[in-house]
Amino acid sequence: MMRIAGRRLSSLSRWSPSSSAPATSTQLSRIQPSNGDDGSSRSISTPHLLNSGFRDLIRGFSSESLAPSHDLGSISDLPPTVAALKNPTSKIMYDEHNHERYPPGDPSKRAFAYFVLTGGRFVYASLIRLLVLKFVLSMSASKDVLALASIEVDLSSIEPGSTVTVKWRGKPVFIRRRTEDDIKTANSVDVGSLRDPQEDAARVKNPEWLIVIGVCTHLGCIPLPNAGDFGGWFCPCHGSHYDISGRIRKGPAPYNLEVPSYTFMEENKLMIG
């Protein structure tokens, strides 16, 4: 556009009065007084001459690509961009160098699109996996609980007829080493007369050793060993009596003392849990 304006300015600088004299004389002849009655009337072509010359001067400084010549009848105060939008023409050229667009599925961009989609899906899958693991691990037992899930007990130091209390999963466990008289007494009981009928052989794996959880089945108290009317355990809270096999014989307790899961690892080793 600056080149066009420079060319127009150079053409105006080469303009001379002689080149425009015929046109001027022709136009001036149209403004001579007429032979009418009053002798004062003049032709109205003078403003048209002035407007035409002024328009040619303006056209020299304007861009034909922005404002066509047939639309310069009056001076416009609009910016060139607005004028171009209002007066579209095929001569306007746009630079699309920085606005290149690729159609969907362009082969040159396909690898990048696959990489972005695959990476995003991998991130989403990792997050979902992490959330699932966190949820599952939150429902599992903690380390301190797992540490107390099982306990080993050395039985070599327990004397016959005595009871030892150990802690397992936060509960007391009674380990009693029974004598031959204790075993005979436990087997001589009429099972039909018991509140919670259960034979002694079903409560022990080795008749010499009785392992029960030391929690009263009434209200959760801890019975006293080697006490009560039947030589087993006695709960002083509400007066429940258990025999040498841990079976309820008297008092408000409804069930026998619970037998935990245990295994004899060696001759003098016991695994509870």
Residues annotated as part of the active site = 238
Distance CA 15, CA 56 (A): 12
Listed in sequence order, the DSSP H helices in the chain are 2-13, 21-29, 45-61, 80-86, 107-139, 143-147, 180-187
Q: How far is CA 100 from CA 81, 87, 110, 111, in A?
A: 22, 26, 17, 19
Distance CA 272, CA 104 (A): 68
Distance CA 271, CA 262 (A): 5
Cα 130 from chain centre? 11
